[in-house]
Structure 1
Amino acid sequence: MGLWELVDKVLILLYKICGHPVIDYFLGTFLLALLAVVVGEFTISLVFLVNKNHLDRLNIRLANLQQLTMLALKLGDKRSYDACNKEANDTFGRVFFNMVGLSAAALWPAFFALAWMQLRFTGIEFPIPFTGLAVNYVFTFIICYILARMFFGRVKNRLPYFRNIHRMLMEYEKSSAPNIT
């Protein structure tokens, strides 16, 4: 048995909880979305912990360049100001895209879940009353994913691992925020 078949056997269990096909579909899709959210949040925490030293160095460099830029501005040294400002903008871009990459780490499980759902639920549609329209697994997954993200956002601070990571991220955000005066 290959890895994909094993994953399929485990994930399909989420869709066999109560025995009613429609309820099982929506409950299973919500649980799959919740699993994707949890795995994504765990991935973010791992990527952050691995890259923390690099992010620290970038933020220290950015803060130093901001101070040098302001000093050059106060001294009226346009050439130094332009050079420092260019370096600060470049460093800010690196910080920004590192944080975008960190945020994107949360999404890969959702795409994996959708790929699995495509194998299982292609062709199944749910009609929207009075519209003549229908939605498929992608739409229902996205709705369940949003609800799962909202739910997890409310409970994650009660879970020991995520509470500690959240505390660490908040301290990091507070300590690395630029000091603009």
Structure 2
Amino acid sequence: MEQYYIYLDYFLIWPYRLLPGLAGFWLGTAVLAIWCVLLGELSMGAIFLWNREHYAEQTNEMVRMHNLSVRAIQAKDKKSYKAANSFANEHFGKAFFAQAALFAVSLWPVPFALAWLAERFGTIDIPVVPGLDWAMGYPFFLILLYIIERILFSRIKGRLPFFGPVAELQRQTGRGKERMIGWGEVNAGPVAASKSDDNVDTPQDSPNAKDATDTKGATDGGGETGKETNPETN
């Protein structure tokens, strides 16, 4: 095990030696932060794929119970609303803490990186800017660079292999199978809230409506013409 640690130490310290002085420390810590981001995101994606059905079930139940509570309000059924709303809040709490735990998975490399930095730079005060009397310990640099790189990575991971498809699956799972009814639709009534297809052709919009109107007009016109061309009826 000690031999593996020596290899890992050599791998991690190598970027610090590419540039001299403070520049090398910034570069090496930035590379270390990148490794923390990548390993954390890979772990989070793997855990999500492993438990995807569980996350989807929680989200679907949350949306379903929420919609039942909204429909109960529309029907003025206070008892059903309280029951459905209680279950909706329960499932919302479960879904929220499941997502929080999933995010926490992505942070596991950071403590190990801090432990390695403590062994290498634990007794050194590192100047933030050369020439200024302002020095910080190693946690400041790693945490600062990790936050910056995590934000930047979140903007590009949708275009990266593995990370992009996983992010799309997370968005689909978060939406659920059933559309969540907004509270703004309560006053619209149950019929308006349950509309699912806004593209149904109305008689005015139907492609055959104009032909039917023209046919009716021609029929009506033909009848009037028949009356005018038959003077003997008068």
Aligned amino acid, residue 120 of structure 2: R
Do structure 1's residue 114 and structure 2's residue 114 form an aligned pair? Answer: yes
Structure-2 separation of matches of 1:152 and 1:5: 29
Alignment of 1:123-142 (within 5 A): 123-127=123-127, 132-142=133-143
- Worse overlay, 145-154 or 62-71: 145-154
Shift of 1:104: 1.5
Higher mean alpha-carbon deviation, 106-115 vs 93-102, is at 106-115
Q: Which string of whole-angstrom CA distances, capped at 9 and with x for unpartnered residues, describes residues 17-66 of structure 1?
A: 23x13222110000000110111111111111112100111111112211
Aligned match of 1:145 = 146
1:82 match? 82
> Closer, same or farther in 2 for the Cα pair 1:156/1:71, shift >3 Å?
closer
- Structure 2 matches for 1:36-55, cutoff 5 A? 36-55=36-55
Counterpart code for 2:83: A
Q: Which residue pairs with 1:163 in the alignment?
A: 164
What does residue 7 of structure 1 align with? 8
Relative distance call for 1:72 and 1:154 in structure 2 (3 A) is: closer
Question: 2:193: which partner in 1?
Answer: none
What displacement does 1:161 show? 1.9
Q: Please give the alpha-carbon distance, in whole angstroms, between the structure 1 residues aligned to 2:91 and 2:81.
A: 15
The structure with more radius of gyration:
2
Aligned-residue RMSD, C-alpha? 2.3
Count of aligned pairs? 180
User: Normalising by structure 2, what TM-score?
Assistant: 0.68
More helix by share: 1
Structure 2 portions without partners, runs of 5+ = 186-234
**Alpha-carbon deviations, 1:66-106, whole Å to 9, x = none?**
12212322333322221211111000000011111111222
SS in 2 for 1:160: coil
Cα offset for 1:139? 0.7
Q: Note closer, same or farther for the CA distance 1:132–1:28 as it changes in structure 2 (3 Å cut).
A: closer
Q: Which one has more relative contact order, counting CA pairs under 8 Å at least 6 apart?
A: 1
Would the alpha carbon gap of residues 151 and 82 (structure 1) be closer, same or farther in structure 2, given more than 3 Å must change? closer
Give me the whole-angstrom Cα distance separating, in 2, the residues matched to 1:76 and 1:48: 39
- The percent identity for this pair of structures is 33
1:11 maps to a residue whose letter is L
Alignment gaps of 5+ in structure 1: none
CA distance in 2, matches of 1:138, 1:47: 27
Amino acid at match of 2:171: M
Moved more, 171-180 or 89-98: 171-180
